[in-house]
Structure 1
Amino acid sequence: MFKKSIVIKQFLLYMATISFCVILMGGMLSVIYTNHYMSETKQELIEQGEKIAAAINKAYNTGNINNLAYEMQVLEDYMGAGVLLVNKEGVIVLASPGMDSSLLGHVLAYDELVENIQEGNVVSLETGSSSIFGTPMLIVGYPLSEGQLSGIFMCRSMPEIKVSLNEMYRAGVFCLLLAFLLTALVSLVTSRKMTEPLMDMNRAAKEIAGGNFEKRVEITSKDEMGQLAESFNHMAESLENIEKSRRAFIANVSHDLRSPLTSIQGFLTAMLDGTIPPEKQERYLRIVLEESQRLSRLAEGIVDMSRAQDSKIVLEETDFDLNEIIRENCAVLEPQMEEKGMRIEVSFAAKETMVHADQDKISRVLHNLMNNAVKFSKEGGVIEVETTFSGKNKILVSVKDHGSGISEEDQKYIFDRFYKVDSTRNKDKTGAGLGLSIVREFIQAHGETVAVKSKLGEGSTFLFTLKLAK
């Protein structure tokens, strides 16, 4: 679990990036600083060589060369560099106190240095450990123009220079290490903060999978992570509503099954034991038939929803007149409308509207929508059914009532299976919350869309589209 943690993965990615940057920066800075330090050292030696050269020229002009050794010792103490004076033949004729006295009389075996000095150029060279000095040296030569001397050479030990560089390197490494630790701490905190919402969602998902559909995650930002948390909460809310609808559906179906079965059983028993006389049996047999039809409709709705969920809806598409299907459904619902003193107003886009669809399923869609409109409208109300052309190859069908309407919150779930609006539960005693779900599944199976427009107290309008016949 530890190795798979997204916090660890993100933290290691940060560390790898930071480490690469620190190593790259450290290497570049070391090269840049080394070159800069060596250049500064050479420049300082050149400047001091210029001063010694001026002092030597002055000594020769005044004839006072007694202070020359003192000047060389001061330079050696100040710069930490030895000083050599070389004549025209390249022979070392004078050395500062810190230099090995055995060097006197030796030829400075660097022909390029001597030749460049004699030409009046300032030169520099880094020697190896096999030179006459016995140790690597940084040599800077400055030309002289007086007497038999050709130049002055300032010599500084490379190991001493490296000691100074190493001190700076240690300081730089300490600063980089401190910066690395600080960035590591910040990266760890950032990784935890960025991944905490994901971990919360993971824990919440496990609780939801365990049946706790009331679990939600806290939204702490408005970025993509916050949007993901919001979507997660919306999903959890949808699952909670589906679970509530499922439980309500089971309760409703149990009630709907129990009531007709009890009636059927009671009437049949009464007829068999002679409680109901033969002359009255026809009336009660009709009641039994109505109850059995009610059971049949309920079973048909459940089967339709099961097929829809398994994507097994088979369409038998033909060309038919949509107007005629609407008229037939108006006739079927006429007894219910008369009972409530209602009327229906129909407006067709054309005298004949030929569409290409499954006639039985579209008739079922219209029946469900119009039946709901009648069921949830007030007595004496009006139902409006209208068809209008939508684009070149579409017809838009709308079914409007003037009932109590549907809230915006309920509109989000009105097409979900088993869902029943709270305000209509007392009005819809026989429904199981499948009618609108079947409408959506049938319309979507045709590749079309269905929608609802509603305001509380102003009624509802259900709309769907169909393809026109060619």
Structure 2
Amino acid sequence: MFRRKGIALRIAVGYLAVIVLTGLLMSFSFWLLLSRHLEQAARENLWRDAQNLVEMLNDHPEKGFGQNGKMMRRFMTYHMLGRVIQGEYLLVNHRGVVLESSIGDEAAGNVLEPGLLAKLAAGAQEGRITLGQERYVAAARYLGGTAERGGAVVLLTRVEGLEEIKQELLIIALISLALPLLAALGITWLLARRISRPLDLLKEKAQRVARRNFGWRVPVDTGDEIGELGQAINAMDEQLAEYDRVQRQFFQNASHELRSPLMSIQGYAEGVRDGVFKGVEAEHALEVIVRETGRLKKIVEELVYLGKLESASEVYNFEDTEISEVLEQTIQVQQVLALDKDIKLELGDCPDVHLWADGEKLVRVFINLIANAVRHAFSRVSVQAAVQGETLRVTVRDDGPGFTDEDLRRLWERFYKGPRGGSGLGLPIARAIVEEHGGAIRADNAASGGAEIVVVLPLTNN
């Protein structure tokens, strides 16, 4: 039914403990309130009947207690909570001496404690006395108005009778709690299962994710925090599945990109070694080997650099950086590449602003963006910087054919490159650096034609 030390068992035990404790507290409160109620009701009845009895005796002083004993016993019979409670009486003189009693001859001649008669005559809130071995709830009224004028009548009822009523009612109350307790046990089990079942599903989901088994959604829709946790785990599963797909694709692309120059290098090196290439052909083979070695080196360096950017060990040297210096340095580095391709590279007016940034890495960002633009431009590449609110926007725009829909969808994937693309790592590197600076980067087609990439960086310092 419940797993040992499981959360369902703990919830069930907790609920039952609360229910049992609540039942015990209710029973205790019921006992106290019932005790007060029974004694209060008994005193009120006794005090009221004593008043009526005194009025009757004052109106007919010629009638004594003895002549009216049977009538008084009928008069002092009470019905309380389905039980018959027999009352008793005492006739007391002004000195507190018991002259006559319905209890028995042993009560006659007893003297009440000093001041007790006054308390019993004060009202329904006072009065308990002990006669012999019996305890009584009592109320008194003076004959003739005061004790000195005619003594008093004291009416009593045994406390033992009230205690019996309390015990019977308490037993009934405890028995009545048994059925709710059984019902609470069933409800507790259902509630515990309702809570533990989604947790079991979340555990199963976590185990599947640990085995890289993605795709199964947790069917948890409880509408509470557990449901929100299930949605979060489902979202995490989707992200991990996408990350896993991207990683697999990355390794496939990396293998392909590295295999191509390695095969060229191996083929031409073996040809030179075996004497297949001689003279001019051998020189050409060596040029291919050098070129492909350089391309292989660049790919490996960019892979290492991208890996460092995404690791916690990579250190960014943030300092006060002037954006105009960053962009001017970038233009100077890329000017040779632009002239070689007969591309006009222009830098617009730069605002006089400073950033809290790693200037060297920002130079790397814009070198990658401008190199990509020069590679696809027909004749012109422009770089514009402007301040908008609390951000700096740098736009790199070319007049080339622009991005295709597939380009815009996959532009930031590693090793993705268009028809004239490079290694496919420049833009992912740029994005990683910009995001580490708290900025954003986006790509789109310009309204005037060509492609544009916009870098947004915050102006606030550290």
When normalised by structure 2's length, the TM-score is 0.77
Query: Per-residue displacement from partner, 1:116-170 (whole Å, max 9, x unpaired)?
Result: 67xx655753234xx32x2222222233339996332222221211111112222
Structure-2 separation of matches of 1:262 and 1:224: 56
Three-state SS of the structure 2 residue aligned to 1:212 is: coil
Could you tell me which residue of structure 2 aligns to residue 396 of structure 1?
393
Deviation at 1:9, TM superposition (A): 4.3
Could you tell me which residue of structure 2 aligns to residue 227 of structure 1?
228
8 Å contact from structure 1 (residues 344, 385) kept in 2: no
Aligned pair in 2 of structure 1 residues 256, 297: CA closer, same or farther (>3 Å)?
same
8 Å contact from structure 2 (residues 373, 381) kept in 1: yes
Structure-2 separation of matches of 1:455 and 1:213: 35
Q: How does 1:53-452 map to 2 (within 5 A)?
A: 53-60=54-61, 68-79=68-79, 80-88=85-93, 89-96=95-102, 99=103, 101-103=104-106, 105-114=108-117, 121-122=122-123, 124-128=126-130, 131-132=131-132, 134-145=133-144, 150-176=151-177, 178-179=179-180, 182-183=183-184, 185-194=186-195, 196-221=197-222, 223-314=224-315, 320-326=325-331, 328-329=333-334, 331-332=336-337, 346=346, 348-350=348-350, 361-372=361-372, 385-389=383-387, 395-400=392-397, 402-405=402-405, 419=414, 427=419, 431=423, 434-443=425-434, 447-452=437-442
Query: Match for 2:302: what amino acid?
Result: G
Structure-2 separation of matches of 1:437 and 1:350: 25
Q: How does 1:32-47 map to 2 (within 5 A)?
A: 32-47=33-48
Could you tell me which residue of structure 2 aligns to residue 463 of structure 1?
455
Q: CA RMSD in A?
A: 4.3
8 Å contact from structure 2 (residues 39, 137) kept in 1: no
Deviation at 1:431, TM superposition (A): 4.1
Three-state SS of the structure 2 residue aligned to 1:136 is: strand
8 Å contact from structure 2 (residues 258, 296) kept in 1: yes
Deviation at 1:81, TM superposition (A): 2.5
Moved more, 219-228 or 245-254: 219-228
Query: Per-residue displacement from partner, 1:391-431 (whole Å, max 9, x unpaired)?
Result: 68x743233574135799x68xx76xx657xxx67758864
Moved more, 451-460 or 36-45: 451-460
Query: Match for 1:127: what amino acid?
Result: I
Structure-2 separation of matches of 1:467 and 1:114: 93
Give the number of equivalent residue pairs. Answer: 442
When normalised by structure 1's length, the TM-score is 0.76
Give the gaps of 5 or more residues in structure 1: none
Structure-1 separation of matches of 2:136 and 2:16: 41
Three-state SS of the structure 2 residue aligned to 1:60 is: coil
Structure-1 separation of matches of 2:172 and 2:134: 27
Deviation at 1:302, TM superposition (A): 1.7
Structure-1 separation of matches of 2:354 and 2:87: 111
8 Å contact from structure 2 (residues 47, 141) kept in 1: yes
Aligned pair in 2 of structure 1 residues 396, 4: CA closer, same or farther (>3 Å)?
farther
Query: Match for 2:106: what amino acid?
Result: L
Aligned pair in 2 of structure 1 residues 180, 435: CA closer, same or farther (>3 Å)?
farther
Deviation at 1:444, TM superposition (A): 5.0
Query: Match for 2:334: what amino acid?
Result: N
Deviation at 1:46, TM superposition (A): 1.8
Three-state SS of the structure 2 residue aligned to 1:102 is: coil
- What's the % identity of the aligned pairs? 20
Q: How does 1:14-53 map to 2 (within 5 A)?
A: 14-18=15-19, 20-53=21-54
Query: Match for 2:172: what amino acid?
Result: A
